[in-house]
Amino acid sequence: SGITVKKARDRNPAIVFVALTRPGQGTSVPPCGDEQLLPGDALTVAGRRSDLESIEFDLNDGASDTASSFSTCV
């Protein structure tokens, strides 16, 4: 959390950022680039499995102890 959608897109160019859902504020489709990702946000993305498997680690700035609920659909 704390990085913008644009920065996340730049770091993960093979992934399509589809939607950002923020509790109590609804869903942005597609998410605005200047939107800052916050704890509790649900980010919907699409891409190859290998790219998706690395995005959680990247979005957490490499922090493996950051709590999140990451899931994939095939």
Q: What is the pTM of this model?
A: 0.72
Provide the 8-state DSSP code for 11.
H
User: Distance of alpha carbon 62 from its chain centroid, rounded?
Assistant: 14
Compute CA distances 58 → 8, 24, 31, 50, 63, whole Å: 8, 26, 18, 13, 8
Q: 15-62: per-residue pLDDT in tens?
A: 999 999 999 999 999 999 999 999 889 989 999 888 887 776 666 655
